[in-house]
Structure 1
């Protein structure tokens, strides 16, 4: 980030009206020496500024009550008194009440957390107060104005009163200036500044001289109980320590410390007991009036670093590790900044060139502040979220989820547990009920998540060629291998091990042609022929995946498969990082990866040079295969599979007398570091966190914002909804809708009439896609009304067979739709970051979702009813498949030998053949089906429009049906 040069214009010291700035000696106006000490690049930290106070020529130093509904401030507006008096502004109705006595000087107010009393500093007990007021009037009438300086009147004491200015009580009585007080967050303590030590201690020499010249010289920070007892001095340095404020957690105090000669001031922090005093800024100017952001992560303050004629606001991280960042860019004085308790707004005092000062308030961008200060995303809490749906809250959610902390939110990870617990706590704090079947907020489910090597892995060649291979250096099992002991069996080299049927444009390719491998091991090369036309390569690509090669070898009767990279491939196997490749699949075949050197040695024993042979194979020409003479493979595969627990988070807002419900959901999981095969990371991005800001932190932000919105409305006045509302954050979507599928297994007890899903809604450009309208009657009418009401452009799409969580609900008989703003180049890559999200567009999408939720939940009847439709041809049986059956695999299946389906598309070959939900396909076209890979492979080999036999397991009955595959349109 560029740091621009700053130039100062010399001017007289401005009239600073604050109890936070009482220095009498100006800092040097030559700030060129400060160039590079702060970041001054213009930004939009502050937006939508507006003026709060208007009465009187001077108002300032406003501080919010703990609930954010009131502000106490000082203003010169009381008739008969030229000095500041203390007022409370009701931020809901705009009415102002004076709480100080109206006599003497008053400054530095604060509202107690109980909302029953306030504190302020006042001289109203001074018998000379009337004379001082008259002298001030006389002084202001003079043609030549005296230079402004703050009065460190020794009669200032701290008082408390109720919010109407009654029951005034003195909290300090010592001689000296007692002011600049603020309550601790729990209301038990008061931090304040006082120069009482200058009167109580015997000063001599230079100390006495300086104190007589400037009473602020002996100013220090003190702390006392709220009733004025147990006073403790926290600082003892010479020079002015003042303006103490507590952090929101009550553990820290920030203040500004002047140099002994009063020429500069810097920002400091310390513990509430005075320990661990740290200097935060090094700006070598007048930096003052520091105030903690409610998070405690950074501090805002004013500084004269740009010159006394142009005091500006700055932020700095609470540890002072990064250069301060400039916040305000207006002419005149900007200072005395304070945050609202939720941290979403900033208030400060602005003095214009006429010398008039008033209090302003504006929206504050916490997310941008953290980015500029290189701070981690803030954890959303009850106190820092607005009850209404707004852009700043959406930023908090997305930046929080798409942060380094969550490392891509892999299903079942420790990071997933952290954010699901956080969401559950927030749902509960908003007054929602647990929405899981057992009434809790978190619904766990088990899934297979990983694989590791056991201690008994073995690979040997026996017979005339003997060799014992070293694990992790020369061989390694593949995660979907069958486990157990494999006795000696012959070995056959079958080239690339590909078997692809002929198409209308491509001839057959069959590595096994003329070979008999039943009861034998096969050795195959990885990938596919390299010296063929792009068209041919594209066609064979589908059949070159290792899972397909395993299915082919098994169907040819092999007992095991060894795979190695050929020497001309430019690739070598990297052992030691056993990769879990999807959900656990059943297979009868041992599968091991072999080093390239080992494969070359085996072929060399058979009298063949693998490099020369690969040149022939790469041309895609026919090859008769090669039996390795008198050589037998013996193996033991020992794999240990890990189970993990995914976590759904589900909340419920019940409606009185409701008989059905509307559910809103999105998935929180993503790809971790791209371990899953669906990662589209570039070469230089391998292993990096896949942040998933759009996919699907955007959707989660939508669910949370809507949940908070409806919960807040209900807390104010119970909603007159006709239906319960459910809010869900799903796990395991990237692994095949695991979490939502698990929930829908018991869907009937929730009586959900409609489901609204949000998946990737963060890249709004000019419209949002409303997908799955074919899942129910009247979705088009609902969409039409929503588009008119919300003014959000929508494109309606019919197909309900979507690759997201809405499918789980549709397959469970629930009308389900998905909101989607489109894919992009960052999809499933580490580049899907929060700064690319269109938050204004995201808010517009949520307006549409909210409008639709209102329509559905306010109707006594169900506006939409379930419809079973044709569709899903290009999604659930693979985009590159030639033929279509219309089966919908159940991707959450585990431990099933075969392929269990969750249904069949309407009017599809599968439906016409009589396939039903929960049927398990165990054989197809004469091929034994043990897992999804077998099914995928076999689907490529069948002939379109020709009757084919399929065997299915339906409960305890084995059925044989006739099905006719269709050629895709």
Structure 2
């Protein structure tokens, strides 16, 4: 809803967020949140509406001579109706029917018709009018709340209110519509998905209490046909408006808990969704200036008693600039089509809201916006030649304190991607999609805890725990209410099979945990046996421990740790889990031990005894029970790929396939938003600089893009060469997968119709004796080319054929093009804060980039196709990419981009593998293996350990909605 009244609801519900909070936020950041200096952007203001207690949402006609608005001004009707104001005569006339609830009007660009939302077809109108008057007559007024009546539909009529046509008919609140500048499209908001989507119990509960939770942005033809959903994020997405050129839409997106909102923009097809504000407040009702240079909006950043207007660069460059300076509410701003006047809604001291009109100084506004933009030139000064000086500049910049580890979707990602875009522009690269080098994609980036969270000890010890102090929910926990259940301590919670040298390790030996909470020590025992420590490492991940506990039929899992209790940490993309999972403090655990019959009453002593092996068997905490309420909501963010291309100087008669060179730019941030950090406990929250992983690879992309942008090099090219910096690699190769999977939607052609080969650079900054070229089995020609390149460059190469790699190269091989990846190998600093710029071997890095250059030239300097895709069998020793740590090999290829799938979705099976022989196909979802239920990848890991080589087992899969049972015979890892 674009409405001012949403603000009233919000104000009443979140007054705990005060101006003092904002001041603290400002004090704790190195940069101001917004520019708060007096200006004269608005002058000569006057009040336009006077009749009734509420008027708002005034939108101008295309010629600027009329305004359509909503107002409560008629006797006998307590609800808004739509009116048309002639700005020359000052006369208003009603357009809507005068019945029901009405809102959100817009005038068609042809000046002959209007669009508005209404419930006038609701058969219960009379009852609702009576109920509203009865409520208003009460001496004690209830808090105002906007009614998301499911009878709201969008209508059009002529300007006299005749010839009414219904445009939407779906059950749900359809409103907040606006026409595109050419009048062919309507953008609107709706919660219709509440009635059609499959929701979790928690989501359904939230949506029933707050219907705005399911609001999403849609677009449709102006006659109501061709409806398309544009957003898919939980929380209120609403108030969409087109830019003056019709290419963009701006809207506001609330967090799932409804406490904050930011201003977003996207293309009209829903692509490239990005926030342009980062105020961590309620930013609301955005509107493009006709110039397209900036967006005006309202925000609560100064406190909810003083809602003010701000402008911000339309691309989010720079921070917002304050526009209004009066007390009270100022919101719902709009501009006249010529951009010279502004209209907005102001609430006076009586609590009445009315529409105001004023002159707008665009030149002053544009000057302020431009002055506030970051410098448009790159901080990097690179030469056209591939040099160590260049690579050092690039790595030093990307692995700097300023970029804070380049987490996917972070503000720092926006900063460095903007820098690279500027370089691509300077060098004359061509955008791939439209006019933008940025390809954005949505991903699950975090979870938030709802109010429905509590832990209670019952029995011998009665206590209510405090979240953030005594306990914390773990992000992959199941949500719901969990009745009191008995409690068992199970040591480290590890089950590891025996090896030739080591006996089996079983924390659950002689322990019954069925339908009981299992309390576990974190990490793994650290004894003197280094071989045992290494063996237990892969079985000690928390997710794996949860999988083991689930297969022991535990009711829930509790980890004991004092790390990460204050804030809920996101562990990566979420797969469905059936167990509640929490962590409790050592202090809370000591209280449980003290009340129990356990021989050891202290956590430290217990942990030391289990770590050294003095104690190995768990025990029951008799007469002790724990109940829990857990509520989690997903939050989604936007990642940013950068893709540009260089075209041959001479255009071929026949369009050749292209070559694409890529490297991921994202890393682990400060190690706290993802669970793959290998840092120690003391430095885990430090910046993970990611110099080798993968600032080194990005330096290769920039050096090669600059090199091939030279006229002399373009003249030698016979094929287009694409250069890409991917996002989301560290959380599942999400960016490159999005690029390949969205190609057909964008172009209408299969990916392998347009691309011949992919070259990937991932961790190329530690060259020692040899450079690894991975995935050469993806085309038989790679071996011969590698032989030539090694001779030309003098760099020793080592080749591995397996194309199923846990890096971006996998995305392209799955898209059925030959794909190889270059790496100088892993090291002790991998995924730790110690992977710094100082550790890079720049002379070696230049040699690696030169290898990739020669490969590229051998592909792109010829009209003919040099390499041809080969579907090869995976290497049993590598487990087909997804199973490289397992003793058992199946040859399934996981779909690394899957989210929210119950089971393990696969993108294919290696040639001649057990999986292919069993009949597994791309798109299958594995839900059972060897009589073990599979809900996520960790279940799958656990289940594989239960199988024996050369002994057939059953596998349950879901294929196109139908469950199938297949027989599969695992083989032993070589």
Is 1:900 the equivalent of 2:900?
A: no
Contact persistence 1:380–1:400 (CA under 8 A): no
Name the counterpart of 2:587.
597
Q: 2:846 aligns with which of 843, 848, 857?
A: 843
Report 1:278-427 matches (<5 A). 381=378, 384-427=381-424
Counterpart in 2 of 1:649? 642
Partners of 2:897 and 2:910 in 1: CA distance:
19
C-alpha spacing 1:702/1:617, structure 2 compared with 1 (3 Å): closer
Query: Alignment partner of 1:663: what SS?
Result: strand
Q: Work out whether 1:553 is the aligned partner of 2:546.
A: no
- Please report how far the alpha carbon of residue 879 of structure 1 lies from its aligned counterpart in structure 2 after TM superposition: 4.8
What secondary structure is seen at the aligned counterpart in 2 of 1:459?
strand
- Distance in structure 2 (CA, Å) of the matches to 1:926 and 1:505: 29
Alpha carbons 1:924, 1:948 under 8 Å: kept: yes
Match of 1:448? 444
Q: 1:468 aligns to what? A: 464
Residues 928 and 690 from structure 1, CA distance in 2 versus in 1: closer, same or farther, beyond 3 angstroms?
A: same
- Match of 2:805, SS state, is coil
- Equivalence for 2:957: 952
Question: For residues 574 and 850 of structure 1, what CA distance do their matches in structure 2 show?
Answer: 45
* Partner in structure 2 of residue 909 of structure 1: 914
Structure 2 vs 1, CA of residues 418 and 963 (structure 1 numbering), >3 Å: closer, same or farther? same
Q: CA 1:397–1:502 in structure 2 vs 1: closer, same or farther (change >3 Å)?
A: closer
Partners of 2:530 and 2:380 lie apart in 1 by 59
Q: Please state how far the C-alpha of 1:755 moved relative to its aligned partner.
A: 0.7
Looking at structure 1, the residues matched to 576 and 554 of structure 2 have their Cα atoms a distance apart, in angstroms, of 16
CA change 1:506–1:434 in 2 (3 A) is: same
Q: Is the 8 A contact 1:382 1:429 kept in 2?
A: no
Q: Tell me, in whole angstroms, the C-alpha distance in 2 between the residues paired with 1:401 and 1:574.
A: 28
Q: Rg bigger for which structure?
A: 1
CA offsets per residue over residues 295-324 of structure 1, 9 Å max, x none?
xxxxxxxxxxxxxxxxxxxxxxxxxxxxxx
Judge conservation of contact 1:663–1:727 (CA < 8 Å) in 2. yes
Equivalents in 2 of 1:532, 1:390: separation in Å? 47
Q: 1:815 to 1:550 in 2, by over 3 A?
A: same
Q: CA 1:637–1:432 in 2, change beyond 3 Å: closer, same or farther?
A: same
Q: 1:823 to 1:712 in 2, by over 3 A?
A: same
- Listed as ranges, the matches of 1:7-26 within 5 Å are none
Alignment of 1:609-624 (within 5 A): 609-611=599-601
Aligned to 2:699: 701
Q: How does 1:242-261 map to 2 (within 5 A)?
A: none
- 1:380 offset after TM fit, Å? 7.0
SS state at 2:912 partner: coil
Residue equivalent to 2:662 = 665
Contact 1:411 1:669 in 2 (8 A): yes
* Counterpart contact for 2:565–2:584, Cα < 8 Å: no
Aligned residues of 1:380 and 1:396 also touching (Cα < 8 A): no
Residues 948 and 393 of structure 1: is their aligned pair in 2 closer, same or farther, counting only changes over 3 Å? same
Q: Is the 8 A contact 1:511 1:622 kept in 2?
A: no
Deviation of residue 727 (structure 1)? Answer: 0.7
Distance 1:806 1:631, change over 3 A: same
Identify unmatched segments of 5+ residues in structure 2.
1-374, 744-749
The secondary structure found in structure 2 opposite 1:808 is helix
> Which of 666, 683, 689 is 2:687 aligned to?
689
1:802 equivalent in alignment to 2:805? yes
Shift of 1:910: 1.7
Question: Could you tell which deviates more after superposition, 698-707 or 681-690?
Answer: 681-690
Unpaired stretches in structure 1, ≥5 consecutive residues: 1-377, 566-571
What secondary structure does 1:951 align onto?
A: strand
**Alpha-carbon distance in structure 1 between the residues aligned to 2:432 and 2:410:** 22
Distance in 2 between the 1:879 and 1:824 partners? 18
3-state DSSP of counterpart to 1:406: coil
Structure 1 residue 481 and structure 2 residue 484: aligned?
A: no
Pairing 1:526–2:534 present: no
Aligned to 2:427: 430
Q: Deviations over 1:576-620 (max 9, x none)?
A: 143222221210100111222333333443322335877875676
SS of equivalent to 2:878: coil
Q: After superposition, what is the alpha-carbon deviation per residue over 1:652-694, rounded to whole angstroms, capped at 9, x for unaligned? A: 2234232311111111112222333333435654433222222
Q: Cα 1:593–1:652, aligned 2, differ >3 Å: closer, same or farther?
A: same
Cα gap change, 1:765/1:465 in structure 2, threshold over 3 Å: closer, same or farther? closer
In the alignment of these two chains, the number of paired residues is 584
Preserved contact between residue 598 and residue 621 of structure 2 (Cα < 8 Å): no
**CA distance in structure 2 between the aligned counterparts of 1:614 and 1:392, rounded to whole angstroms:** 51
Contact 2:906 2:924 in 1 (8 A): yes
Change (3 A) 1:384 1:895: same
1:799-832, CA deviations, whole angstroms, 9 ceiling, x for partnerless residues? 3233321121112211011222333443333333
Determine helix, strand or coil for the equivalent of 2:547: helix
CA distance in 2, matches of 1:413, 1:633: 38
- Take 1:703 and 1:944, find their aligned partners in 2: how far apart are those partners? 43
CA contact (8 A) 2:645 2:722 kept: yes
Structure-2 change in CA distance of 1:963 and 1:840 (3 Å): same
Q: Does the 8 A contact of 2:378 with 2:422 survive in 1?
A: no
Q: Mean alpha-carbon deviation: is it higher for 885-894 or for 834-843?
A: 834-843
Distance 2:738 2:481 in 1: 35
* 3-state secondary structure, aligned to 1:678: coil
* Residue 905 (structure 1) shift: 2.4
Match of 1:874 in 2: 878
Answer whether contact 2:952 2:970 (CA < 8 A) is retained. Answer: yes
1:742 aligns with 2:738: yes
SS at match of 1:735: coil
Cα offset, 1:439, TM superposition: 6.0
**How far did residue 751 of structure 1 move?**
1.1
Q: Is the 8 A contact 1:523 1:563 kept in 2?
A: yes
Kept in 1, the 8 Å contact 2:776–2:800? The answer is yes
Superimposed CA distance per residue, residues 543-600 of structure 1 (whole angstroms, 9 cap, x where no aligned partner): 33322221122223222222225xxxxxx45521432222212101001112223333
Paired residues of 1:564 and 1:573 also in contact (CA < 8 A): no
Q: Does 1:777 align with 2:780?
A: yes
SS at match of 1:907: coil
Contact 1:694/1:832 (CA < 8 Å) preserved in 2? yes
Report what 1:927 is aligned to: 932
Residue equivalent to 2:892: 887
Partner of 2:576: 586
Quick check: 2:689–2:835 contact (8 Å CA) kept in 1? Answer: yes
TM-aligned CA distance change 1:528 to 1:828, over 3 Å: closer
Q: Equivalences for 1:21-32 in 2 at 5 Å?
A: none
Q: Which runs of 4+ in 1 moved over 6 A?
A: 612-616, 621-624
Contact 2:708 2:714 in 1 (8 A): no
Aligned to 2:65: none
Instruction: Tell me the SS of whatever aligns to 1:652.
Output: strand
TM-score normalized by the length of structure 2: 0.56
**Distance change in 2, residues 1:682/1:906 (3 Å):** same
- Distance in 1 (CA, whole Å) between partners of 2:615 and 2:842 is 57
Cα distance, 1:933 vs. partner?
Answer: 1.3
Q: How has the CA–CA distance of structure 1 residues 495 and 765 changed in structure 2, closer, same or farther, with 3 Å as cutoff? A: closer
SS of aligned partner of 1:522 = strand
Q: Does 1:817 align with 2:820?
A: yes
Kept in 1: contact 2:771–2:848 (CA 8 A): yes
Q: Matches of 2:380 and 2:560 in 1, distance apart?
A: 58
**1:546/1:390 CA distance change after superposition, 3 Å:** closer
Q: CA deviation at 1:482?
A: 0.6
- Report the CA distance between 1:510 and its aligned residue: 3.9
**Distance in 2, Cα, partners of 1:537 & 1:394:** 38
CA pair 531-728 structure 1, distance change in 2 beyond 3 A = closer
Contact kept, 8 Å, 1:573 with 1:596, in 2: the verdict is no
1:936 equivalenced with 2:933 (yes/no) = no
